[in-house]
């Protein structure tokens, strides 16, 4: 893998020499399975190397179907511990930034990191890395950041360093970022890494159950409601979208993570190339895009929704009302602003 060139790994090895130094592992806002899996995989690795002062920090709360991962109880959630998180980042020697490539993706923690004199190491698979990092490991060809973490950890210490806890976290990251190996999954290397993780004793069926088959009844009913009442299909624009108001969310006692995966159902309709989910939040509308083939939702999210992501999975925000946001979106897709390529 070219991005793990020996000089980069050599510098990391030097950075990691001091076992007492303060190391932060930071993930992006609304962390997903890849962010948490990568962070906890790295935490388990560093603690295994006898690093004594490692702290994973998430900007905000995340879905409960990720809470089973080994080390989860050590994650500091900054929205509950604002000062502690800022103080840790200010006095850290080393900061790992995982699954994001622009400091602003970690919101307030991004501003904290910008001020910190810590060395910042980014490991990420999104396109167009931003400034502010001392060392960049960027691979847009990787299925997930967790896949990159496998390469990173084994480049530093060899396969013998792996253990079941690390493997479970990295496996969860790879599985969630590839829709259980249903997209971003055409690279043989991905399966070689999955095989190595399996050899550590990962129980794939158990992890699938913990992530995907732990719906609350409310969450399942919310999904049903989205599909039967809230799905709008615009065939001529190859687009389908779902929108959820705060009242919709309250009706189903919405909790963090309940709408995860909903957008994929809109993309599963024949001839649909662009799917969107609009979720009304306190001061903005969260926008989630998925696409197939050449339809570039990263561009769409960057250009119109203050966001970004990957070509086929991206997100952003609208600061207009839900109604205006939906009207704007329909105008946009009917105006051919989105090219579906061939």
Can you state the percent helix, strand and coil of the chain, rounding each to 5? 45, 15, 35
Number of residues that bind Mn ion (CB under 5 A): 4
Which partner from the list Mn ion, ligand 5GP, none does 313 bind, CB cut-off 5 to 8 Å by kind?
ligand 5GP
Site membership for Mn ion, residue 177 (CB under 5 A): yes
Contacts with ligand 5GP, residue ranges (CB under 6 A): 30, 32, 105, 288, 307-310, 313-317
Q: Smaller CB distance to Mn ion: residue 99 or 102? A: 99
DSSP labels, 181-211: TTSS---HHHHHHHHHHHHTT--HHHHHHHH
CB-CB contact of 213 with 240 (8 Å): no
Compare residues 54 and 103 and give the one whose CB is closer to ligand 5GP: 103
Ramachandran region, residue 53 (left: φ > 0; alpha: ψ -120 to 50; beta: rest):
beta
172 interface partner picked from Mn ion, ligand 5GP, none, CB below 5 to 8 A per type: none
Shortest reach from residue 10's CB to ligand 5GP, in Å: 29
Rounded to an integer, what distance in angstroms lies between the CA atom of residue 140 and that of residue 85?
Answer: 29
**Signed CA dihedral, 309, 289, 77, 319: sign only:** positive
Residue 34 or 88 with smaller CB distance to ligand 5GP? 34
Residue from 43, 45, 31 nearest 71 by CA: 43
List the one residue out of 282, 283, 342, 291 whose CA is nearest residue 314: 291
Kind of pairing between the strands at 313-318 and 308-309 = antiparallel
**Nearest CB to Mn ion, comparing residues 177 and 280:** 177
61-100 positions binding Mn ion, by CB under 5 A: 99
Q: How far is the CB of 105 from Mn ion (least distance, A)?
A: 11
- Is residue 135 within 8 A of residue 121, CB to CB? The reply is yes
Q: How far is the CB of 146 from Mn ion (least distance, A)?
A: 8
x/- site string to Mn ion, residues 98 to 127, per CB under 5 A? -x----------------------------
CB of 253 to ligand 5GP, least distance (A): 21
* 307 interacts with, out of Mn ion, ligand 5GP, none, CB within 5 to 8 A per kind: ligand 5GP
For CA atoms 123, 126, 127, 130, the dihedral sign is negative
Tokens 């550590």 -> residue = 200
Nearest residue (CB) to ligand 5GP, 107 versus 330: 107
Enumerate binding residues for Mn ion (CB under 5 A). 34, 99, 145, 177
């Amino acid at each position: 893998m070219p991005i793990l060139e020996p000089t980069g790994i050599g510098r990391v090895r030097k950075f990691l020499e001091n076992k007492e130094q303060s190391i932060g592992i930071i993930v992006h806002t609304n962390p997903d399975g890849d962010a948490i899996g990568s962070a906890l995989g790295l935490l388990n690795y560093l603690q295994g190397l006898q690093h004594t002062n490692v702290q994973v920090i998430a900007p905000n709360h995340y879905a409960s179907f990720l809470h089973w991962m080994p080390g989860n109880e050590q994650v500091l959630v900054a929205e509950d511990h604002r000062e502690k998180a800022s103080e840790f980042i200010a006095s850290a020697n080393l900061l790992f930034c995982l699954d994001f490539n622009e400091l602003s993706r970690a919101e307030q923690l991004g501003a904290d990191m910008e001020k910190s004199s810590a060395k910042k190491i980014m490991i990420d698979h999104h396109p167009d890395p931003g400034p502010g990092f001392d060392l960049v490991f960027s691979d847009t060809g990787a299925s997930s950041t967790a896949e990159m973490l496998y390469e990173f950890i084994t480049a530093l210490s060899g396969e013998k360093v792996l253990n079941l806890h690390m493997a479970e976290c990295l496996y969860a990251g790879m599985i969630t970022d590839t829709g259980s190996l249903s997209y971003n999954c055409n690279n043989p290397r991905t399966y070689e890494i999955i095989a190595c993780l399996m050899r550590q004793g990962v129980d794939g069926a158990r992890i699938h159950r913990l992530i995907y088959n732990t719906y609350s009844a409310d969450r399942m009913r919310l999904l049903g409601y989205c599909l039967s009442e809230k799905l709008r299909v615009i065939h001529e624009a190859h687009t389908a979208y779902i929108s959820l108001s705060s009242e919709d969310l309250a009706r189903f006692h919405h909790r963090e993570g309940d709408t995860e995966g909903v957008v994929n159902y809109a993309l599963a309709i024949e001839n649909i190339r662009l799917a969107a989910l609009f979720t009304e939040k306190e001061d903005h509308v969260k926008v989630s895009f998925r696409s197939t083939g050449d339809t570039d939702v990263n561009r769409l999210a960057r250009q119109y929704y203050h966001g970004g992501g990957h070509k086929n999975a991206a997100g952003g925000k609208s600061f207009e009302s839900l109604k205006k946001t939906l009207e704007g979106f329909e105008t946009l897709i009917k105006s051919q602003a989105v090219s579906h390529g061939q």
